[in-house]
Structure formats: C-alpha cells, structure tokens
Amino acid sequence: MAKAPKAKKPLRGDGTAGSSRSLVWLSGLACGALASISPGIAMLAAGLLMPGVVVLKLDKEPGRPIARTVLTCGLAGCVQPVITLWNAGQSFDAALSILSDPRAIGLAWSAAGAGWLLSQVTPLIVRAVLEATSLARTARLRATRGRIVEAWGLEETPDG
C-alpha cells in the first residue's frame, strides 16, 4: 500500500513558505554582528529596548502592529543614551553606567509604554470620532428629509 504524500506547508501571502525563518536568521546574524563589533551599544540597546522585545514575543497579530509601535517609540527614547555612549567611547563600562542611570532607562521604557498606550487608545479614539461623524450625518440627512417632505407635501414615513 502506498503512503500518502506529506502535506506541504501553506504558502504565505507573498507566495513563499520559509521567508519568516530566513528573516529570523538574518535578524540573529545582525544582532551577533552588532554584539561582536560594538558590545557596549548592543548591551545598551538590549537593556533599553527590553519592553519592545517582550511585546515582540507576545504580539501574534499579522504584521505585529503593537510591537512595531512599541519598538519605534522605544527607539526614540534610546537616541540620547546612545549618543552619550558614543561620545563616552563606546566602552562596556560606559554602557553599564548609562544602564544604571534610572533617568535613561526610565525614559526609554516610558517611551515604549507610551507607544503601547498609543496603539491601544488610538483605535478607540478613531472609532468614537467615526461614530460621532456618522450620528451627525444621520441627523443632517433626517433634517433634510423632513424639510423635503414638508416642502413637497408628502406623508411622513414611520421611520423618520
């Protein structure tokens, strides 16, 4: 009796099956290169971007919109500490000194938290604005319909 062929992996939207694994591999390669070339900056980035890494692991939506927002805002909070490290000579000790500063880590983590809050609150605000716009338009249309019914002498329908 012949065995049934193994089911192939479903293709992604772009027609490839293994592109996510190669992206992970390339990301690991880039992180390893950064850690070997400049360990101080790699350690500083790892410490300051820790909330973004956690959200990256937890976000399972396609495209990872929350993780992208948190990482982007976290990167904005990392600019000044990285400039400080760069000017201090990029040493491992300077990176440890910056990471032990509560203001630097607090700013970066607060920026990441603001990105998370932004990604959670923005859809609610957009929905409220669209709902208010829709209600206002409905009221305007009903008023216009009422004026037309009155002007033309038509009978009012039960729904309006």
78-126 confidence digits (pLDDT tens) = 999 999 999 998 888 999 999 999 999 999 999 999 999 999 999 999 9
Q: Which pLDDT score is estimated for 106?
A: 95
Distance CA 135, CA 123 (A): 18
Q: Compute the 3-state secondary structure of the chain and give helix, strand, coil in percent, each to the nearest 5.
A: 75, 0, 25
pTM over 0.75: no
Alpha carbon 151 to chain centroid, angstroms: 53
Residue 2 domain flag: no
Q: How far apart are CA 9 and CA 78, in angstroms?
A: 39
Between residues 157 and 133, the one the model is more confident about: 133
1 within domain boundaries: no
Portion of the chain with pLDDT greater than 90, in percent = 60
The reply to whether 160 falls in a domain is no
Q: For residues 2 and 142, what is the distance between their CA atoms, to the nearest angstrom?
A: 70
Domain that holds residue 106: 37-119
Q: Let me know if residue 104 belongs to a domain.
A: yes
Total tally of structural domains belonging to the chain: 1
pLDDT in the model for residue 45: 92
